[in-house]
Structure 1
Amino acid sequence: MGERIGISPAAVYAEGLVGGRLRYQRCTRCGHAVFFPRVVCPHCGDARLEWEDSAGSGWSTRRRPPAVVPVTTTSP
């Protein structure tokens, strides 16, 4: 998919999901992969981001909030 002027990066990403593709951006200046979809590269600030399709062979992480330990009090 070429440059999509006037369409938000989130819309282009969602369009890929509807088509069964997981997409991310790559900065043409510094070469970093960029995800979540953005307008400029968070690494170098350049706006030249191109879309790539994920090969599906990577890994992902999930952040969870810390476990909540109940606090008990005893009356004297």
Structure 2
Amino acid sequence: MAETKERKLPAPATSPETQAYWDAAAKGKLLVKKCTSCGQAHHYPRALCPFCFSDKTEWVESSGKGTIYSFSVMRRAPVPYAMAYVTLAEGPRMVTNIVDCDFDKLKCEQPVKLVFKPTDGGPPLPMFTPA
């Protein structure tokens, strides 16, 4: 059965380094950083590439498609929720929530698509739902 209650989500902390990420989220777009030195994409966005430590990174818009790599359903919370690692089509994995679905039907390698959920006074958070 699909969960109908919504969790109240606090606004994420922003910084000058991540402001473009949150500005894009407010427009319904998910950005990842890509290193122009080694070609690797990474998430969570940061100025230095975690693979080669180059400062030559650029913002790239994600397709919003991915697959569940791993997940856990938190059923003892006041409002149950599913935490997951999602492997984006662009390559990096991100920690996120799986929403708007029956948690009992989730499985690893399941295709998912991007959705945004509002926060309490801040930019929306990127989450995923089964595709």
Whole-angstrom CA distance in 1 between matches of 2:59 and 2:68? 19
- 1:37 pairs with 34, 45, 60, which one? 45
Counterpart of 1:9? Answer: 17
Gaps of 5+ in 2: 1-14, 73-131
Runs of 4+ in structure 1 over 6 Å off: none
Gaps of 5+ in 1: 1-6, 65-76
2:46 equivalent to 1:46: no
- What is the alpha-carbon root mean square deviation over aligned residues? 2.0
Structure 1 letter corresponding to 2:19: A
What whole-Å deviation, never above 9, does each CA across 1:45-68 have from its counterpart, x for those lacking one?
10011111111222244555xxxx
**CA 1:60 to 1:16, structure 2 compared with 1: closer, same or farther past 3 Å?**
farther
What whole-Å deviation, never above 9, does each CA across 1:18-72 have from its counterpart, x for those lacking one?
01101101000000001001010010010011111111222244555xxxxxxxx
Across the two proteins, how many residue pairs are aligned to each other? Answer: 59
Structure 2 letter corresponding to 1:31: G
Structure 1 letter corresponding to 2:29: R
Whole-angstrom CA distance in 2 between matches of 1:47 and 1:9? 12
TM-score normalised by length of structure 1: 0.66
TM-score normalised by length of structure 2: 0.40
Residue 8 of structure 1 and its aligned partner are, at CA, apart by 2.4
- Structure (1/2) with the larger strand percentage: 2
- 1:22 pairs with 6, 10, 30, which one? 30
Q: Percent same amino acid at aligned positions?
A: 31
